[in-house]
Amino acid sequence: MKALSRSVDAERPSGDDSSTAPYFSVRTDVNGPGIFPKHEHPYFELLLQLSGSRTQHLGIRDVELDEGHLVCMGQGLPHGGTLHGESISLVIGFNLPFLCPELPIYAAKAWSQPAALEAAPCLLPFVAQTHIDFRCSVELTRKLQEMGSDLMARSSSESIGSKAYARAKLMLFLLSVVEAFEEDLVEVGGSPILSEYGSERVDELLNFIRGNLAERISIEDAARHLNISPSCLAVRVRRITGKTFGDLLLEVRLKRAKELLLYRDDRISEIAHATGFEDHAYFSRRFRQLVGMTPGDYRKARASIGANEKAH
């Protein structure tokens, strides 16, 4: 079968650091039967199959695509394709600095983490690609194709506001996918496959803690929510996580505090309160003990890393 070639380098963002320079591209690919060798790039890619069929190679998985299938490929994912006949597809590439320029520059490297997904839920399909078959309805396929055509027309325009329009249209494209597959995305988000400890009961406990993070939480409160005894919960938490309930609670509080320090401009005292620490000084002391620096130094250090990456 014929090997199909395309210039991957020509599509890469310009500049010394492709992860920080805003990048966006959109095109329609029309190809005969052949093979696209596996490759990867530092940006997200959407592929909507408009006609024909192909086998899309995603990492070590193969996905069979026909008309109306959408593939959401995260940055750095090795991928290629085997086209079985004439194929037409809409291909959109973008990175986080283009889609969400308001996010810190280092968020691009942690895009699949909860805090980033909370700030940019439009990225959920990229996280869930390995668990969901994004087969679009005829109506959704038509809607996405029309938005793709609009994006292509706008991408070549140099008029004022064309970049902002493309960003908004791309966001609408992604959120349309999220809306159409919301039930599946919610199910995958709560699946043990994506869980932190592989235990549904511990995941339920973590969800309870995260949902009440600003409150005082005792092991009795958590046990009551799970409908088990406090002693049983303590044993289960220790067996599955290797931690005491108190240690797990502190870990969840500080993990969320670190996320808020990176993604929000709230005062440190406000972040302490939001994560369940009534005493600002106690929060700073425990943070330093476990993270190795004060909350303020942590925020400055991460901001400095992002600034250095952007400068280079």
Distances (CA, A) of 117 to 22, 59, 140, 151: 19, 22, 23, 24
Distance CA 312, CA 295 (A): 26
The mean pLDDT value for 48-52 works out to 95
The more confident residue out of 9 and 282 is: 282
pLDDT at 124 over 60: yes
**Model pTM?**
0.64
195-311 belongs to CATH 1.20.120.140: no
Q: What residue spans define the domains of the chain?
A: 9-104+121-189, 195-311
Asked if residue 6 has pLDDT above 80, the reply is no
Name all contacts of 50-53 with Cβ < 8 Å and 24+ positions apart. Answer: 50/88, 50/89, 50/90, 50/141, 50/145, 51/86, 51/87, 51/88, 52/83, 52/84, 52/85, 52/86, 52/87, 52/88, 53/83, 53/84, 53/85, 53/87
Q: For the CA atoms of the chain, what is the radius of gyration?
A: 23
* Superfamily grouping for domain 9-104+121-189: Regulatory protein AraC (2.60.120.280)
Using alpha carbons only, give the angle 147, 122, 119 rounded to the nearest 5 degrees. Answer: 140
The chain-wide mean pLDDT, for the chain, equals 84
Mean pLDDT of 251-269: 88
| Gap between the Cα atoms of 163 and 9, Å rounded | 22
| Distance (Å, whole) CA 98 – CA 234 | 46
9-104+121-189 shares its CATH topology with 195-311: no
Tell me: the pLDDT tens digits for 83-123? 989 999 999 999 999 999 888 776 677 787 776 777 788 99
Integer CA distances (angstroms), 238 to 228, 235, 254, in order: 15, 5, 19
Would you place residue 18 in the very low, low, confident or very high pLDDT band (cuts 50, 70, 90)? very low
pLDDT recorded at residue 239: 84
CA-CA-CA-CA torsion sign (135, 79, 90, 99): positive
Q: Give the span between the Cα atoms of 34 and 81, in whole angstroms.
A: 8
